Chains A and B, each alone.
Chain A
Amino acid sequence: QKEVEQDPGPLSVPEGAIVSLNCTYSNSAFQYFMWYRQYSRKGPELLMYTYSSGNKEDGRFTAQVDKSSKYISLFIRDSQPSDSATYLCAMSVPKAGNNRKLIWGLGTSLAVNP
């Protein structure tokens, strides 16, 4: 079983829609939960990260973590064509020396249609 599960999609929505992206995980040791956005032929770019259960909002983006269910979500409000990209969840496990290692989901491909 994979440590992080993410539906690769593709997901296609009309402009202005609310988008919900999700990941589930199995490792209770995960501490930080991150969402990255990756445009075609580019590297991943950190969007948001959260530590505790609950919601964190940044503009049109809201990250939600439910540790009891081992489930995280990213909501995009008023989606724009420029939001079309692959969204990857990543989770960190602690390592020795205050380091952390990222475990990644597959990524969900999102297309926002004008």
Chain B
Amino acid sequence: EAGVTQFPSHSVIEKGQTVTLRCDPISGHDNLYWYRRVMGKEIKFLLHFVKESKQDESGMPNNRFLAERTGGTYSTLKVQPAELEDSGVYFCASSPRQGLGEQYFGPGTRLTVT
């Protein structure tokens, strides 16, 4: 069984540009989560999808971030326009169940905004 995959593994963009991160969850997992880790800080929750619906987006930093999950399969996280403080590692996780269902993490996308 393939794990959670994320693309790209690393992205370097200039301030003001747009970047789109993609996450492919484990097949059949309805729950999909986005997290971010800024250097020197803890991993922070961004949002949670159940199928194609946003269950909780309380962690999204601001309206420059837009997450979608069309058809309840893969998800994208777009940052537009990117700022320096958006740099960090963005993790995606999926889970077959809500509640405390084990979350399986992808390897992350390392975003550097210069």
Contact = CB atoms under 8 A, between A and B. Distances in A.
B99 interface: yes
A43 B42 contact: no
Contacts of B48: 99
A49 interface: yes
Contacts, number: 51
A88 B43 contact: yes
B101 to A, nearest CB: 9
B105 A45 contact: yes
Given A42-B107, A104-B42, A98 B98 contact: yes
A11 B44 CA distance: 24
B93 A43 contact: yes
A95 interface: yes
B55 interface: yes
Given A43-B4, A43-B93, A49 B100 contact: yes
A102 B46 CA distance: 11
A42 B105 CA distance: 8
